[in-house]
Amino acid sequence: MVKIDTNIAEVTRDLNDLGHRVADDTQDALDEVGRFVRDEARIRCPKGATKADAASDPQYRCKNRKGRSPGTLEQSISVKGGHGYVDVGVMSGNALQYANKIHNGRGTDWNRLGPGSKRKQSGARVGEKFVDRAYDENEKEIVGKFDKGVNMAVNRFNGNY
């Protein structure tokens, strides 16, 4: 006869600990993904023209900008995380209405990039749907970042045994 013995309390405690670590590491991974998408969206969002930009483009008509400086939209893109989620975009403030117009309104509210956006454009395309494209154009890298975070907890757990 063979008796197989285990400490159920210890196994339960270890599995509970794994659950907490996976949750913490998953949230950390989500937060990292959110910051990455935010940074990529800032690269892709249009940027207002400086006075020098406007002066160099005779077709550009500088509208009343209500005291906003170039880059206000860019700096308004933020990350908000909670338990098991992360939101990226312009969530509040003076730039919210403008962000919606620029993100979703090409062809109806606006048609062409101004000189500030043209000057900014180098690698990634600057323009509409800047938050959506920040995710879509980097989805493989984003999934990799998320998987890496989740796998960290599992690998730590496996290292204990």
> How far, in Å, CA of 84 to CA of 64, rounded?
41
- Residue 3 in any domain: the answer is no
Count structural domains, the chain.
1
Q: Could you tell me which residue, 39 or 92, shows the higher pLDDT?
A: 39
Q: Which two tokens stand for residue 8?
A: 């159920």
Per the structure, the complete domain to which residue 137 belongs is given by 8-159
Residue 140, C-beta contacts closer than 8 angstroms, at least 6 positions apart: none
Could you tell me the CA-to-CA distances from 42 to 52, 53, 58, 69, 139 in Å, in that order? 22, 19, 26, 15, 16
- Residue 146 in any domain: the answer is yes
Instruction: Please say if the pLDDT value at position 66 is more than 60.
Output: no
Around 155, how many Cα atoms within 13 Å sit in the side-chain half-sphere?
7
Q: Which two tokens stand for residue 62?
A: 């500088």
Instruction: Please say if the pLDDT value at position 79 is more than 90.
Output: yes
Q: What is the mean predicted confidence (pLDDT) over 85-107? A: 88
Q: Could you tell me which residue, 135 or 8, shows the higher pLDDT?
A: 135
Q: For the chain, give the percent of residues with pLDDT over 90.
A: 30
Burial of 33 (0-12, 13-18, 19+ CB in 10 A): buried
- Residue 1 in any domain: the answer is no
Q: What residues are paired with 85 via a beta bridge? A: 82
Instruction: Please say if the pLDDT value at position 36 is more than 90.
Output: yes
- Residue 2 in any domain: the answer is no
Residue positions counted in the chain:
161
Please report the pLDDT score of residue 67 as a whole number. 53
- Residue 44 in any domain: the answer is yes
Rg (CA), the chain: 23
pTM of whole model > 0.75?
A: yes
- Residue 67 in any domain: the answer is yes
Q: Could you tell me which residue, 107 or 88, shows the higher pLDDT?
A: 88
Please report the pLDDT score of residue 64 as a whole number. 46
